[in-house]
Structure formats: C-alpha cells, structure tokens
Amino acid sequence: MAWIRWRGQSAPRMTTVWQNGKTRQRYLASLGGVYTVPEWRQQQISERFPTVPIDWVAIQAALVQGPPGNRPPSAAMLGWAEVEMRLRDWARTGPEMYAGEREALRVAARVLESWRAHAAKTAEAEQRPPTVT
C-alpha cells in the first residue's frame, strides 16, 4: 500500500516492498509542497506502478492534514477533499452517462482541488489553520 512520508513541507509518496527477505521503502513520486494530487498525476503514478495498491482517498486525506505539527484543517477542508475524490471516482467508474457529464464531474473536482489548494496556501502563508467559507 502506498503512503505519504512528510519531509518538512514536502510529501513524497512511498510504498514498502519485500526484497531478499527484507522490507524496503520505495520512492514512487514527489508531490512537492502540494496539498492535493491532480488527476493527471494520480493516473501517471498508477500507470508507472501498476502493482502498487493506492487508496487515493486516504492519500488526499493525509495531504489535507498537512505535515506533522501543522494545525488541523477545518472540517470544511476535510469535506471538500472527500467530495473531490468521490467526484473523480464517479467520473471514472460511475454508471453509464454521457461524455459531457463525466467531464462535468471532472471539472467540478478540479474546482474543489483549486479552492482547497488556494485555502491551504493562504493559511500556510498566514500561519493559521486553513478554513473554507
């Protein structure tokens, strides 16, 4: 299973694998100082490491929490992350719908992603917990 290891404000994606009877940590991708993973980056990571199970909802939740020592995010920020991931999942795996409807779900998820990223960066600059109005 893939997970986040915070290094200061950076968030590398890691996984643990068995090699020669020992566990080793394997670097998957750097997410920089972002608090969300864009859909194109999720697809890129999933294609590059097809055998590594990735729970994107859990990853997004870890990113929303931010690095250890940060103040916890508001309930609204956590809710936005959950809705964003559900919209992306629905666009990918939902019931039959028109292509325009799938794209509308993706656009809505990108809007939430942008708002969350902006709120997190603003809060970080002001050194206060992120809030969403």
Prediction pTM value: 0.53
**Domain range spanning residue 90?**
2-126
Report how many domains make up the chain: 1
Residue 20 in any domain: the answer is yes
Residue 52 in any domain: the answer is yes
Residue 133 in any domain: the answer is no
Residue 58 in any domain: the answer is yes
Residue 6 in any domain: the answer is yes
Residue 17 in any domain: the answer is yes
- Summarize pLDDT for 1-44 with one digit per residue, the tens: 676 777 766 677 777 777 788 888 877 777 665 666 777 888 88
Residue 71 in any domain: the answer is yes
Residue 92 in any domain: the answer is yes
26 membership: H or E segment, kind and range? strand 22-30
Cα pseudo-dihedral 122, 125, 127, 131, rounded to 10: 0
